[in-house]
Amino acid sequence: QVQLVESGGGLVQPGGSLRLSCVASGFTLDYDAIGWFRQAPGKQREGVSCFGSGDDTTYYADSVKGRFTISRDDAKKTVYLQMNALKPEDTAVYYCATERHMVVFRSTCLQPRMYNTWGQGTQVTVSS
């Protein structure tokens, strides 16, 4: 069964850090596009960071550049999102997603509509 499971969310003060993990099961990550997305209450889901299909280049939303870092460990079938200098506006449910059947080129990997497999999400709350 193909599955993505996120973890690592929580409550953190502004300026703090969190590391999210996304573990894949039922498939390998090797060439599939995979990324992190978030959805705040009342807002549309948006791309945060991703890898395109067969691409080691990382892509970021402008709002998180310089603060967030995506990485992957294919042997562990895990993708990470290191989040530093967190702001209240980063508060959202964070989702991991992958697209296993279609090629997702380069920065189009930031578009949620490109993905067909999603995790259940993990809540990140940034508040003092």
12-68 tens-digit pLDDT: 999 999 999 999 998 887 789 999 999 999 999 999 999 999 888 999 999 999 999
Question: Considering all CA atoms of the chain, what is the largest pairwise distance in Å, rounded to the nearest integer?
Answer: 42
100, pLDDT greater than 90: no
Residue 29: per-residue pLDDT: 78
89, pLDDT greater than 90: yes
Smallest CA-to-CA distance from 100 within 1, 6, 34, 48 is with 34
Residue 27: per-residue pLDDT: 84
Smallest CA-to-CA distance from 22 within 117, 126, 104, 110 is with 117
